[in-house]
């Protein structure tokens, strides 16, 4: 009976090996994209052009929605997605936490697309008057750096205010009931608060932050699949160019997804930056400044080198830049 048992064991091992190989192959042929409810990737998903192009390369596309940049990059860090887009700050926190990521591309600046908001009847007139006040924000999001820079520009230290960390929906609730003095937030939540709550803008990013959006990939995926990443960058760029030229059509597509009126959505759409540009030395230096600031403030545990995590594209996509 032993030869039969041995043969059965070998068959089982072979079957397991084939199954594992099939799973590995399936994973290799699927591009898993993380997106948020607002932004260029939502439009790319709706158009379906990426799926058509990648099908020719034998690659399927899987989309996963995240509530914010920090959560998206947590997904990237644990390997549940291969690619995504966030603001400036989440990649810094993710890299500090050991995420094996690469910056692939960035969108042009959108400094008006994030702001420090005040209740309509707030007596506060300047950022300097936030000293000792409660300011709510999503920790590790793009607005975290806006707050840091706005305080510095007003001659305050980060420790001069009381930070309250809440995700956007909870932060809005705290803002509405008056349990915080200011809310640091991005579009479309910003546009919604301005119009629905008559929130006042104390300071937006103009003159102090760029508010870039970054497209990021896991290092293993980008290195093994440069042609897929190249195609993705090209498609994001094409959708960005179309979006910049057609804000009304973008609004019609995005407004139902956000559950917001068209006028609020249009405000956010017009303030957004569109495109997918390869990182320049200036953009890398600006991102390094953010990382250095957060390390000095002890918001991250170690210094970072941004230039070490920049994707090097195939020559063809570099020429198309």
Alpha carbon separation from 246 to 37, 99, 262, 274, 321 (Å, rounded):
19, 36, 14, 11, 22
Alpha carbon separation from 63 to 50, 89, 93, 255, 272 (Å, rounded):
12, 23, 23, 19, 22
Rounded mean pLDDT of 208-220? Answer: 95
Alpha carbon separation from 165 to 26, 28, 215, 244, 280 (Å, rounded):
39, 37, 25, 33, 32
Residue 319 has pLDDT above 70, yes or no: no
pLDDT band at 254, cuts 50/70/90? Answer: confident
Rounded mean pLDDT of 5-24? Answer: 35
What's the CATH architecture for 29-109+212-320?
3-Layer(aba) Sandwich (3.40)
In 10 A of CB 277, how many CB atoms? Answer: 17
Helices (H), the chain: 2-28, 40-47, 49-55, 69-78, 89-96, 142-153, 168-177, 189-196, 219-224, 226-245, 247-258, 262-271, 281-296, 315-320
pLDDT band at 155, cuts 50/70/90? Answer: very high
DSSP state of 309: G
Asked if the domains 29-109+212-320 and 111-204 are classified in one and the same CATH topology, the answer is yes
What's the mean per-residue pLDDT of the chain?
Answer: 88
DSSP state of 107: P
Nearest to 137 by CA among 63, 58, 69, 214: 69
Residue 283 has pLDDT above 50, yes or no: yes
Least confident interval from 14-23, 116-125, 231-240, 289-298? 14-23
Q: Is the peptide bond before 188 cis (omega within 30 degrees of 0)?
A: yes
Quick one: pLDDT at residue 65?
92
Rounded mean pLDDT of 116-134? Answer: 98
Rounded Cα gap, residues 190 and 117, in angstroms: 8
Cβ atoms of 169 and 138 closer than 8 Å: no
Rounded Cα gap, residues 96 and 143, in angstroms: 18
Rounded mean pLDDT of 299-303? Answer: 95
Quick one: pLDDT at residue 233?
94
Rounded Cα gap, residues 99 and 218, in angstroms: 8
In 10 A of CB 276, how many CB atoms? Answer: 26
Instruction: Give SS3 for 59.
Output: coil
Rounded Cα gap, residues 191 and 169, in angstroms: 14
Quick one: pLDDT at residue 39?
85
Q: What is the Cα 83 distance to its own chain's centre?
A: 10
Instruction: Give SS3 for 35.
Output: strand
- The full set of domain ranges for the chain reads 29-109+212-320, 111-204
Q: Give DSSP secondary structure letters for 230-281.
A: HHHHHHHHHHHHHHHH-HHHHHHHHHHHHT--HHHHHHHHHHS----BPPPH
Residue 22 has pLDDT above 60, yes or no: no
Q: Provide the whole-model pTM.
A: 0.83
Classify domain 111-204 by CATH number.
3.40.190.10
State both tokens at 102: 């690469």
In 10 A of CB 86, how many CB atoms? Answer: 28
State both tokens at 2: 């032993």
Quick one: pLDDT at residue 315?
65
Residues 68-114 pLDDT 10s: 888 899 999 999 999 999 999 999 999 999 999 999 999 999 999 99
Dihedrals phi, psi of 219, to nearest 5 degrees: -60, -45
pLDDT band at 209, cuts 50/70/90? Answer: very high
């Amino acid at each position: 009976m032993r030869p039969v048992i041995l043969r059965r064991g070998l068959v089982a091992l072979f079957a397991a090996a084939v199954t594992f190989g099939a799973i590995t192959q399936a994973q290799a042929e699927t591009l898993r994209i993380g997106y948020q409810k607002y932004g260029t990737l939502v439009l790319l998903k709706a158009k379906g052009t990426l799926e058509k192009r990648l099908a020719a390369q034998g690659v399927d596309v899987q989309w996963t929605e995240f509530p914010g940049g920090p959560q998206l990059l947590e997904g990237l860090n644990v390997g549940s997605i291969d690619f995504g887009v966030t603001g400036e700050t989440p990649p810094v926190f993710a890299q500090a936490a050991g995420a094996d990521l690469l910056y692939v591309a960035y969108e042009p600046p959108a400094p008006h697309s994030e702001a420090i908001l005040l209740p309509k009847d707030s007596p506060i007139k300047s950022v300097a008057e936030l000293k000792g006040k409660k300011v709510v924000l999503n920790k590790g999001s793009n607005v975290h750096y806006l707050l840091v820079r706005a305080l510095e520009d007003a001659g305050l230290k980060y420790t001069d205010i009381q930070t309250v960390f809440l995700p956007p929906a909870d932060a809005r609730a705290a803002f509405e009931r008056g349990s915080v003095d200011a809310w640091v937030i991005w579009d479309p939540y910003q546009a919604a608060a301005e119009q629905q709550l008559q929130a006042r803008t104390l300071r937006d990013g103009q003159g102090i932050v760029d508010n870039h959006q970054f497209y990021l990939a896991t290092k293993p995926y980008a290195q093994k699949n440069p042609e897929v990443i190249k195609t993705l960058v090209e498609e994001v760029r094409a959708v960005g160019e179309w979006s910049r030229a057609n804000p009304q059509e973008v609004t019609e597509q995005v407004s139902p997804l956000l559950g917001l009126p068209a006028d609020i959505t249009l405000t956010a759409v017009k303030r957004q930056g569109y495109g997918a540009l390869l990182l320049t030395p200036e953009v890398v230096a600006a991102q390094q400044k953010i990382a250095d600031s957060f390390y000095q403030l002890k918001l991250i545990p170690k210094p970072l080198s941004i230039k070490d995590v920049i994707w090097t594209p195939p020559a063809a996509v570099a020429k198309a830049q």
